[in-house]
Amino acid sequence: MTATPRAVELVNVAAEAAAEKLAKDIIAYDVSDQLVITDAFVLCSAPNDRQVRSVVDEIEDRLRAAGAKSVRREGERDGRWVLLDYVDIVVHIQHDEDREYYGLERLWKDCPEIPLPVKNSSGD
């Protein structure tokens, strides 16, 4: 099983929105073989709480414009790790320190990476 075309479309929209707000290390994984609750994860990070919130707002605006409806939003109060659940995809926007600490890439490294149409900033 692979991510649906709609999921890949939403991944691309989310990645482009994150890149526009200068999110770093944007990556997407096809987790459809591992999870039944979603097809893909998008991971990205930002250096401070304010920028995390800015990335979240842009992703939500763009996905809404693409016809996607969020079913869950968690973590916004702290601005360190915000999870946006759109059923087809789940987007994780993390503060740089939290991303390094939790290492979601290590958990999902065996899943296929979804190619993204954006220039990826590593923040170096």
- Please tell me the predicted confidence (pLDDT) of residue 71: 96
Range of the domain at 50: 5-108
Number of domains forming the structure of the chain: 1
Confidence of residue 117 (pLDDT cuts 50, 70, 90): confident
Higher pLDDT, residue 78 or 99: 99
- Please tell me the predicted confidence (pLDDT) of residue 122: 56
Place of tokens 């994860």: 41
Residue 51 forms part of a structural domain: yes
Would you tell me how many other CB atoms lie within 10 Å of the CB of residue 115?
Answer: 10
Q: Classify residue 3 by its DSSP letter.
A: -
Mean pLDDT of 58-62: 98
Higher pLDDT, residue 53 or 119: 53
Residue 21 forms part of a structural domain: yes
Residue 116 forms part of a structural domain: no
Would you tell me how many other CB atoms lie within 10 Å of the CB of residue 65?
Answer: 10
In the chain, the percentage of residues whose pLDDT exceeds 90 is 88
Residue 64 forms part of a structural domain: yes
Residue 115 forms part of a structural domain: no
Mean pLDDT for the chain overall: 93
- Please tell me the predicted confidence (pLDDT) of residue 121: 58
